[in-house]
Amino acid sequence: MSRGRTALAVGPLAFLLLLFVVPLGRVLTVGLLDAEGGPLTPLLDVVADPRLREAAWFTLWQAVASTGLTLAVGLPVAAVLSRLEFRGRRVVEAAVMVPFVLPTVVVGAAFVALLGALPSGLVPQRGVLPILLAHAFFNVAVVVRTVGGLWQHLDPAPALAARGLGAGPLRAFLVATLPRLRPAVAAAAVVVLLFTMTSFGVVLVLGGSGAATLEVEIHRATVRFLDLGTAAALSVVQLVAVVATLGVYARLRRRAGSERLRRATAARRRPRSAGERTAVAAALAVLGLLHGAPLAALVLRSLRVGDGWGLAHYRTLDAPTRAAVLSVAPLEALWNSITIAAAATAVAVLLGLAAAVAAASGSRLGRFADGALMLPLGTSAVTLGLGLLLTFRTGPLAGRGAVLLVPLAQALIATPFVVRTVLPVLRDIDDRLREAVATLGAAPRRVRREVDLPIVSRATLVAAGFAFAISVGEFGATVFVARATSPTVPVAIERALGLPGAVNLGRALALSVLLALLTGVVVLLVDRVRVGALGRF
């Protein structure tokens, strides 16, 4: 049985080789080698281009600025949610996670709606500030989950002792609490830095013509100029930056120390002073502005028709626009997204379950598959999309068969979430349950059916929900491989936002609301199925 479980890793590894390793190797080959100019010519051309150097610099400094803003907002919120107990805390904690699961183009559309509703000139609708705000909107959840997850379990005794010796609240925090939180803060900062360096949909929608990251330039070089050599060279630069960032994160994880921890409910208490009550109110106000305002503006502006209100923008979703860049009806794009995401979910669950079972067996091949399948998460989706485009220009997945490439690309990104959701559950199954059923005369197949299947089935449902939510909103890789006649919803939203006129904007916002609702419903269903920490990634 162990040998059979180990063999299950072959399929996921073959899928990874075909859809990840070969395309990534193709990007490296095209980006570093050139038949006409010689080795490294594309990369040297990128380094010599002032515009592309500016894009590289903008990628770095906007990521640093976004990380600083996210920490500035997230750390106080993490403090309130992890140390203080108040009415509605669980609802607020769940609401913090909502933006993190929204598709990037929906977030971009939400900030377009919000900033467009403000007085003219107060805040630009495109540029650096909207990008920084949108990144903070997305990534506050990372800080709250990473730092708050540790903070709520820290023993408060050292901080109380510092207060007893005369230190003020700030001094006690700096001396007794911050040193113990530093590994979590650093890890959260690196993760946010990685996410903002590889943020594509947000920058593409909100950046305008004057703010372009490496990923936006990769997209422009591919779609607008058909310069695949430059796009591949930029992907190499991006890949080096991502690998370096992941290396820093790995070092931080290894250096993280152990702390004396307590149950979260024991560490939290009711606010006792006016300052603590003010902190709770301030945290809720910040979250309301940062998270609530863009989503509310998205819904309200989708209902705004001229000087009145109505569903006119929603009624036009069943008709294609006259513009060539959006030749299908938006509702058709929504149906495309649902069917493609369903196919991607089926592939991801099948491969993820096989890899999880193999890894749970403890074999070397299974453990290798577990680690290898995480690699796509550390690679830019834009780089993956470009690699797939370069690799499958010919062959069974090219031409008319390219429709298969979209769900396969989305499954590549969703499969790691399936593995990480199911594998801990498989490892936690008590062998004594299997032995008890076996001693009653049950065959190995019946043992798996009676013991493993009921336990794993719920985790599989959670994994399928996560995979569907990820696939239906995926944009970075999909925009490279989706056919012009079969766009998904994120692609259709981005195209509609790029068209002039109030009608196209209204369509984009209405379609964004529908996609946000679809994603939200799936996440809520997953949360109902999940028990305890089951399914947390």
For 66-102, write each residue's pLDDT tens digit: 999 999 999 989 888 888 888 888 888 877 877 888 8
Confidence band for 535, pLDDT divided at 50, 70 and 90: very low
Confidence band for 306, pLDDT divided at 50, 70 and 90: confident
Rounded Cα–Cα distance for residues 420 and 380 (Å): 19
Boundaries of domain holding 383 = 1-47+311-537
The mean pLDDT value for 424-431 works out to: 70
Rounded Cα–Cα distance for residues 454 and 450 (Å): 7
**pLDDT at residue number 414:** 93
Shared-domain flag, residues 329 and 349: yes
Q: What is the percentage of the chain residues whose pLDDT exceeds 70? A: 84
Shared-domain flag, residues 233 and 365: no
Shared-domain flag, residues 8 and 53: no
415 Cβ contact list (under 8 Å, min separation 6): 12, 15, 347, 348, 351, 352, 355, 373, 376, 467
Shared-domain flag, residues 107 and 161: yes
Rounded Cα–Cα distance for residues 228 and 231 (Å): 5
Structural domains counted in the chain: 2
Confidence band for 137, pLDDT divided at 50, 70 and 90: very high
Shared-domain flag, residues 64 and 169: yes
The last residue of a domain, from among 255, 274, 302? 302
Q: Find the CATH number of the domain harbouring 97.
A: 1.10.3720.10
Confidence band for 393, pLDDT divided at 50, 70 and 90: confident
- Evaluate whether 52 touches 220 at the Cβ level (below 8 Å): no
The mean pLDDT value for 16-44 works out to: 82
The mean pLDDT value for 395-401 works out to: 57
**pLDDT at residue number 413:** 92
Among 6-15, 32-41, 194-203, where is mean pLDDT lowest?
32-41
Burial string for 47-84 (b: 16+ CB within 10 Å, else e) reads: eebeebeebbebbbebbebbbebbbebbbebbbbbbbb
- Evaluate whether 139 touches 97 at the Cβ level (below 8 Å): no
Shared-domain flag, residues 296 and 318: no
Shared-domain flag, residues 370 and 240: no
The last residue of a domain, from among 302, 336, 366? 302
Shared-domain flag, residues 443 and 459: yes
The last residue of a domain, from among 269, 302, 335? 302
Q: Which residues pair with 261 in a beta bridge?
A: 154
**pLDDT at residue number 131:** 94
Confidence band for 259, pLDDT divided at 50, 70 and 90: low
327-378 per-position pLDDT tens digit: 678 888 889 999 999 999 999 999 999 998 888 877 888 888 888 888 888 7
443-466 per-position pLDDT tens digit: 566 656 656 666 778 888 889 998
Highest mean pLDDT among 29-33, 267-271, 429-433 belongs to 29-33
Shared-domain flag, residues 296 and 316: no
Shared-domain flag, residues 287 and 319: no
The mean pLDDT value for 19-39 works out to: 81
